[in-house]
Structure 1
Amino acid sequence: MFKNYLKIAFRNLTRNKIYSFINIAGLTIGLTCAMLIILYIKDDASFDRFQNNKSNIYRVVLKSAFKGEEHQMSSTGLFQGPRFAQNVSGIKGFVRVHESSADFKKGSDVENRQFLYVDSSFLFVFTFPLIEGDAKTCLSNPNSIVLTKDEAIKQFGTATAVGKILTIREDDAFVPYQVTAVTENCPQNSTIQYKMLIPIKVSEEENKNNENWFSFYLNTFVVLDDHANPDYVSLQMQKFFEKDAGETSRALDARFGRKDSPLTTYFLQPFLDIHLSKDLPAKNGLQNAGNPIYAYILSGIALFVLLIANINFINLTVARSVKRSKEIGIRKVIGSDRRQLIVQFLGESFILCAIAFILAILLAQLILPLFNELANKKLAMSYLFDFKLIAGYILLFLFTGLLAGFYPALILSGYQPIDTLYSRFTLKGKNYMQRGLVILQFTLASFLIIGTFTIYSQFSFLTKAKLGYDDNNIVVVKKDNMTHEKAAIFKHELLNYPDIEQVAPKNGGFWGTSAKLDSDSSINFAWETIDESYIQTLKIPIVMGRNFSEKYPGDSTHSILVNESFVKQAGWTNPIGKSVIFNYRNNKTYEVVGVVKDHHFTSLNEKIRPQLFTMANNNPYGTFYIKIRPNTATRSLKFIEAKFKQFFPFTPYSYVFKNEENLKNYESEARWKQIILFGAILTISISCIGLFGLSVLSAEKSYKAIGIRKVLGASVQNIATGLALEFVKLVIIALVIAFPLAWLASNKWLDSYPYRIRLDWSIFAGAAILVLLIAIATVSIQAIKAATANPVKCLRSE
């Protein structure tokens, strides 16, 4: 019996090659999407679960309020780890983690490398297996260094590198560090990623300075006892903090002019929550910060594509049922009951799904590298051999087979043999089920197309919006801790080259601080150290007052510029001549001499914050903005590199164009723009297959009616238009349903951007026109074919 079912199933597949191909192709694409998304979700869900202490590790985090706004922060100071561990019951260990970089010298070559500063307990708290070395002692010596396996091979050509020496720059000298251990490489699903570990160094002076409670720059992790309650531990942490640091906090508030500022509140964040946290994400040395919304988006796309593929299977199977009506009638006459027919048709469904499933695994392997690039992941097909994942795929296979085959099996097995054998069988009714499925398909497809248009528009806005300064033809070169005198000499040498128009030094990285205003209030701001050419080089407009100038020697000691946001937050109506007092610098007072127009000195993903510019000599430079003439990049870059190596022979040279650096801020949007685009293309393509199936169904149902209309004089155009219009109505209904859903979802997504586009009618009109054109083109093929058929064949009686 089973052999007979298989034989009939394969005969039907080979007899109807086009329909079999369409069904298999649709299911293959749907299953491939589902497999890749399952891999993505599994990877997100597996982050950091290899850690032995995963359930007992927590990150110390805090929340504070400033001017009525609450802020959460994951960075802590030097004291939170050791003092909480020593004075709070339930904490049995701690480790601090801080990302840094330094120049590594190998022979005559110097390379700047990233590494992690960690406490000696790092390899006890976190599970990174050792290849060689002793976890108890490998980080106890201040000049020790731990490497991963790949880094050891890179540096020394072997993974057995204990005892070997690496030379690292400290201030102006290169200091030897001895390799004391080699660990396995960090797993790809780890929040903590490193190639080198170096012990944190804390001086006696730093240990005595209670203000280091507030030197927020590193991550602090604590390990709790098995029976400790995290909420209770958090309360005890807060009590000890108020006792040990309360007086220092109030003194700092007084120094910075903060009145009635509530004390910082500490609490614990589970280590396993960090990867997908939106409020307290992985940063400051932690990697692979995730976003749960991406998993939801990808899951939605996979579900849409898989659902639409199954809908196609149902529609096409029912559409072809007329061709199998006699087979069903004969089998019923010779004794087959309905249960046997249901098993037969379900069996055919599962055979199709099995073929599609095998092809989907092969296709997933082929496109996995592209998917990794789009999703910014490092997924591997080896994940497929995970027991839970295999079980998930088996369930997916069974679900797909049942979903695709159950409804057609019920319909086909219900045909009456007398109607089918005497050719009196027709597909009766309005086919509400099939039409409803097509509406669902195009609702999903329209939803994704509108989403695609929205993301494209927002991405275009982010990358083309005016930043408030000119970032064209500006080369960015970095050199840390450069004195103003050295920078002036280097700048002079660069300006001697005819293709270099301007050179502007500024501080390296991002500086943020707070200061007191002359109104006895305080303000937080971004702090930039520049020279008199910076504003001019970037063409930042000055809206009030003047720029820094060599004509005013006092500019380097007591003058500042501020932006419009600074003026607004300070509540000034006439900012020129106002004072800003740096309390922690012995009440050093600066006078505002100019106001620059607000400009996006960070990405458009962040609101413009208060910004202050100074020329203070005691602040080092770290970056050069070098304006070159258009179309001179090749020779200008060669000159800049030569001069840099002449002045700084032991510092690695690198450069980036400022406009390219700005575009990197939107890499996430660029990736998701492509992912949503691919999802929309897949969805609309498979939806068109379903629409084609329903048009076949309608044409076969109206077979004789079309012949009669042609005999009575109806034109091909009238008949084709009538058939096509029937399906265009379904697509319009789908658009009506999709529009409000897409508007709500798009607005929700756009609300996460402080600077965003406004959804207007053009996005929805463009999506509607595109969907309608695609639908009309799809239906017209079958409509024209039916309208041009010979009426003699349509009306002939057997």
Structure 2
Amino acid sequence: MFKNYVKTAFRNLLRNKIYSGINILGLSMGLACGMLIILYVKDEVSYDRFHDNLNNIYRISTVQYNVEGKREGAMGYSGYLQGPRFAADVPGINAFTRVEQDMRDVKNGAHIKAWQIHLADSSFFSIFSFPLLSGNPKTALLAPDAVVITEDVAKEQFGTKDALGKVLMMKQGDDQFKPYTVTGVAKRIPQNSSLKFKILVPIRASAQDEGNDENWFNFFLNTFVVLDPGADRTQVETNMQQVYTAQSAAVFERQQQQYGPQGKTVYQLQPMNELHLSKTYRADNGLTDASDPIFSYILSGIAAFILLIACINFVNLTIARSVKRAKEIGIRKVVGGGRMQLIMQFMGESFILSIAAFILALILVQLSLPVFNELSNKALAISYLFDFKLVGGYLLLFFMTGFLAGFYPSLVLSGFNPVKVLYNRFTLSGKNYLQKGLVVLQFTLASFLIIGTITIYCQFRYLTTRQLGYDDKDLVILRHSRIPYLRADAFRADLMRNGAVADVAFKNVGDWMTSAKVNGDLTVNFSYETVDEKYLPLLKIPVVKGRNFSKAFPSDSTHAVLVNEAFVKTAGWKDPIGQEVNFWYNKDEKYTVVGVVKDYHYVDLKQRITEQLFTMKNSNQYGATFVKIKPGKETAALAHIAVIYKKYFPLSPYEYTFMNDENLKRYESEAKWKQIILFSAILTIFISCIGLFGLSVLSAEKRTKEIGIRKVLGASVAAVVAILSTDFLKLVIISFVLSMPIAWIVSNKWLESYPYRITVSWWIFATAAFLVVGVALMTVSFYAVKAAVADPVKSLKGE
């Protein structure tokens, strides 16, 4: 009996190749999307799970409160003291390690390359499960000149993984290169690790640093602690707070006397298994790949949409074909076939289709993984499919798909009345509301994604084309060791000797934040920039009041500052020129405002323009050089810059970036989401349309004789096409109308996270409507035209 079911199922599928192909293709695409998203989610939740002692590893984090007791922020940073002090004085903490990030120049022969390195305590390998290919993990970081490298770094620097005992020349700051002995070679770091080191050296924490109670208030590195297996986390946090309060009390009192009332710091423990997906305490400052669980939710939702649409196609096409199989069902019932046997027959066909779709889906996953990895910033591989839990998930996905796609059609088909069927009196009852409802549902989802795609594209275009308030074209940025202003003048003079260089300006490197008092006691927090007098003119940033810095005013380098319009607004100044800015924490450091800079987007457009202050203070050194290149002379300019750079920084690698490229990199996540949603929308509309194509084919076949009669009576091809297409287009239009309010609400909600954003305009919906209706019209018209131009004699000769 079972053999007969299988044989009949295969015959039916082979006899209806278009129907079978559409179903297999649609299901395989839905399953492939589901598999890729399962891979993504599995990778997201697997971060850091490979550490043997994961459940007992925590990162020390803090919550900051202001003077009024209001929560101001939270961070996962700490300083030199927290690790050793808490480990010594808090019961339940048995080990700690601090992890700091830095940049170092590494010399390999004559070649110099800047590497991101990590510094850590000697207990690092006792806490984390990073196996060494060679070296002793307990002693690898004991010597001050020791270095542990990964196997990839070993191959690059020494040409072999067997690098134990070899010497790595590394520079710290402006010092000469110093030899570091390789005391360990680590295996390649797992891609699902929040801590990805390449070069690891012992942390620089002197006895003086660890004995200075003022370092309780420095936060710049990550500290991890290991709790005893039976320790109460809440009690440990309480004890940590008590130790901190007691040991920092004297320093805290001095700060209050010197600077006024201070806020409060509360220490907490963040489980390491929450690092990757934490929205409060981000995996940064030496940790990598910080993510947001919303990404998994969105991608899972998209995969569910696509899989649902594929199942809808299956149900629709199977029900639509039911008329053609009515006599087969009637004969089976007359000769004694039971309803359960018929259900098994049709469910069998469903699972055969699902098996074929599943195999094709595996092939599609393999082919699309490189693109998916690029979009999602992952390094997923097809080998991950063979994880036991993952295979179980895929099998569950397969059985659910086969069951959901085949259960309802099998109930409908097995319920046909054999008498009506065999006397040609059978028609599907009602007006096929379910079939039409399913078409409406899938095109509603497709329309929603298309509107979302257009919205994301427009917002991305807005972010990348909006005027920033300064000129970033043909502007090269060099980051280097800090240089004083007198040496910077000589560096500029040498750069300007080439006619391809238009101008040169200097600025501090990185983002500096500080605060000062204005109007007596009002504290203003601001971005603190050290620039020269050429910086604002070079970037074409207007000074709207007062004047720019000038060497004609010697006091500009000691007592003058510029502020932006946002600073003026916060300070409440009507006439800002001549106002005083008091850096009260530095004795006698007061400045006079000589100019107001027009607000410009010095941070990305995902953040509002906030307060900014500029100084030309002599004691602040420059760390970045901005070189304006004349248009069309990039090659000559860059060659000249390289020569001059090596003259002034012979021990530093020559690296440069174009500022407009840096600005674009700020929106990499938006660019990737634009691509992900675009691919999802295309895939959704494609699957929906192949289902619509299948329905139009079956509709045309069912109405073959009607079309023949209409043509004999004089109907034109256009009229016949319109008749066959109208019913489907009505459903598509209804779908789009239903999707509009949902898409409008979701799009506006998403845009709320951007302070500078587009408006969801009518033309976005008009464009989406044109695309959806146009694609649907082309889909249903293709076979409708073929049926309309067919010879009516062939259609009617069977009558």
Category of TM-score, reference length = shorter chain: over 0.9
Question: Is contact 1:480-1:508 (8 Å) kept?
Answer: no
2:199 equivalent in structure 1: 196
Change (3 A) 1:658 1:638: same
| CA distance in structure 1 between the partners assigned to 2:21 and 2:703 by the alignment | 25
User: CA offsets, 1:60-80, max 9 Å, x none?
Assistant: 111224586621122222212
Letter in 2 for 1:288: D
Cα shift readout 1:321-355 (whole Å, capped 9, x = no counterpart): 22222222222222211111111111111111111
Percent identity (aligned): 56
Distance 2:90 2:163 in 1: 39
Aligned residue number for residue 145 of structure 1:
147
Query: Structure 1 residue 530: deviation in Å?
Result: 0.9
Deviations 1:269-293 (A, max 9, x none): 1111110112221110101111212
The within-5 A match list for 1:371-450 is 371-450=372-451
- More divergent stretch after superposition (520-529 vs 44-53): 520-529
Q: Which residue of 1 aligns with 2:247?
A: 244
Paired residue secondary structure (1:592): strand
2:115 corresponds in structure 1 to 113
- Does the 8 Å CA contact 1:426/1:701 hold for their aligned counterparts? no
> 2: CA distance between counterparts of 1:427 and 1:653?
75
Residue-by-residue CA offset, 1:668-718 (whole Å, 9 max, x unaligned): 111111111000000001111222233345445555655555565554434
CA distances 1:194-216 after superposition (whole Å, capped 9, x unpaired): 11111111223323432212222
Q: Do 1:246 and 1:263's aligned partners in 2 also have CA atoms closer than 8 Å?
A: no
**1:220 aligned residue (219, 223, 228):** 223
Q: Does 1:731 align with 2:732?
A: yes
Which whole-Å deviations, capped at 9, do the CAs of 1:700-742 have from their partners, x for residues lacking one? 5555655555565554434432442222221222122211221
Q: Which is further off, 309-318 or 393-402?
A: 309-318
- Secondary structure at 1:264's aligned position in 2? strand
**CA-to-partner distance for each residue in 1:40-65, whole Å, 9 max, x for gaps?**
00000100011112111111111224
- Residue 49 of structure 1: aligned partner: 49
Q: For structure 1, which segment, 225-234 or 367-376, has the greater mean C-alpha deviation from structure 2 after superposition?
A: 225-234
Q: Is the 8 A contact 2:122 2:142 kept in 1?
A: yes
Q: Is 2:366–2:382's contact at 8 Å kept on the other side of the alignment?
A: yes
Q: Which moved more, 1:777-786 or 1:336-345?
A: 777-786
Moved more, 300-309 or 162-171: 162-171
What's the CA shift string for 1:424-459, capped at 9, x where partnerless? 333342111111110110111011101101110110
Contact 1:434 1:694 in 2 (8 A): no
- Residue 523 of structure 1 aligns to which amino acid in structure 2? V
Match of 2:186 among 171, 183, 186: 183
- CA–CA distance in structure 2, aligned partners of residues 201 and 737 of structure 1: 62
- Cα contact 1:532–1:547 (8 A) shared by 2: yes
Maintained 8 Å contact 2:22/2:694: no
CA deviations 1:57-110 (Å, max 9, x no partner) are 111111224586621122222212222222222222211111101111222222
**Cα distance change on mapping 1:524 and 1:368 into 2, 3 Å:** same
2:79 maps to amino acid: G
Partner of 2:29: 29
Q: Distance in 1 between matches of 2:206 and 2:528?
A: 27
Opposite residue 591 of structure 1, the aligned amino acid is T
Q: Which moved more, 1:225-234 or 1:669-678?
A: 225-234
TM (norm. structure 2) is 0.96
Change (3 A) 1:65 1:517: farther
Q: What's the CA shift string for 1:504-563, capped at 9, x where partnerless?
A: 111111222223335223222211111100000001111111100010011111111111
Instruction: Give the structure 2 partner of residue 231 of structure 1.
Output: 234
TM-superposed CA distance for 1:36, in Å, is 0.8
More deviation in 33-42 or 742-751? 742-751
Unmatched runs of 5 consecutive residues or more in structure 1: none
Instruction: Write the letter of the residue equivalent to 2:195.
Output: I
**Amino acid across the alignment from 1:122:** F
Are 1:315 and 1:693, in contact at CA under 8 Å, matched by a contact in 2? no
Which stretch of structure 1 is more off in the superposition, 489-498 or 752-761? 752-761
**Structure 2: unaligned runs, 5 residues or longer:** none
Measured after TM superposition, the shift of residue 136 of structure 1 is 2.0
| Deviation larger for 270-279 or 565-574 | 565-574
C-alpha distance in 1, partners of 2:311/2:673?
Answer: 26
Q: How many residues are matched? A: 796
Query: Secondary structure of 2:528's match?
Result: strand
Q: How does 1:277-288 map to 2 (within 5 A)?
A: 277-288=278-289
Residues 480 and 286 from structure 1, CA distance in 2 versus in 1: closer, same or farther, beyond 3 angstroms? same
Query: Which stretch of the first structure deviates more once superposed, 760-769 or 713-722?
Result: 713-722
CA contact (8 A) 2:61 2:75 kept: yes
Report which stretch shifted further, 472-481 or 412-421.
Answer: 412-421
Q: Which residue of 2 aligns with 1:603?
A: 604
Aligned to 2:10: 10
Structure 1 residue matching 2:666: 3-state secondary structure: helix
Deviations 1:1-40, CA, capped at 9 Å, x for gaps = 2222222122222221122111111111111111111100
Aligned equivalents of 1:768 and 1:65: distance in 2? 50
1:367 corresponding residue in structure 2:
368
Q: Answer yes or no: is 1:63 the counterpart of 2:66.
A: no
1:570 alignment partner in structure 2 = 571
CA-based RMSD: 2.0
Structure 2 CA distance for aligned equivalents of residues 459 and 12 of structure 1: 49
The structure-2 alpha-carbon separation of the partners of 1:571 and 1:60, relative to structure 1 and needing over 3 Å to count, comes to farther
Q: Which stretch has the larger CA shift, 268-277 or 708-717?
A: 708-717
Which secondary structure state, in structure 2, belongs to the residue aligned with residue 418 of structure 1? helix
State the secondary structure of the residue aligned to 2:305: helix
Q: Aligned partners of 1:241 and 1:212: how far apart in 2?
A: 11
Cα 1:78–1:581 shift into 2, 3 Å: farther
CA, structure 1 residues 428+91, in 2 after alignment: closer, same or farther (shift >3 Å)?
same
Q: Distance between the aligned counterparts of 2:207 and 2:395, measured in 1?
A: 61
1:86 is aligned, of 79, 85, 88, to 88
**Aligned twin of 1:38:** 38
- Does structure 2 retain, via aligned residues, the 8 Å contact 1:427–1:701? no
What is the SS of the residue equivalent to 1:201?
Answer: coil
When residues 508 and 794 of structure 1 are mapped into structure 2, their CA distance, relative to the original with a 3 A threshold, is same
**Other structure's SS at 2:626 match:** strand
> Residue 590 of structure 2 aligns with which residue?
589
Q: Secondary structure at the match of 1:70?
A: strand
Instruction: Confirm or deny: 8 A CA contact 2:469 2:541 kept in the other structure.
Output: yes
Amino acid in the other structure paired with 2:329: I
Show the counterpart of 2:754: 753
Name the counterpart of 1:351: 352
Tell me the distance in 1 between the aligned counterparts of 2:252 and 2:610.
25
Q: Distance in 2 between matches of 1:303 and 1:748?
A: 21
Please state whether the residue corresponding to 2:80 is helix, strand or coil: coil
- Is the contact between residue 519 and residue 571 of structure 2 (CA under 8 Å) also seen in structure 1? no
Partner of 2:99: 97
What SS does the corresponding residue of 1:754 show, helix, strand or coil? coil
Q: How does 1:776-791 map to 2 (within 5 A)?
A: 776-788=777-789
Determine if contact 1:699/1:783 at 8 Å carries over to the other structure: yes
TM-score by length of structure 1 reads 0.96
User: How many angstroms apart in 2 are the aligned matches of 1:253 and 1:31?
Assistant: 62
Classify the secondary structure of the residue corresponding to 2:155.
helix
Please say if residues 505 and 535 of structure 2, whose CA atoms lie closer than 8 Å, have aligned partners that are also in contact. Answer: yes
Say which is worse superposed, 688-697 or 118-127, in terms of deviation: 688-697
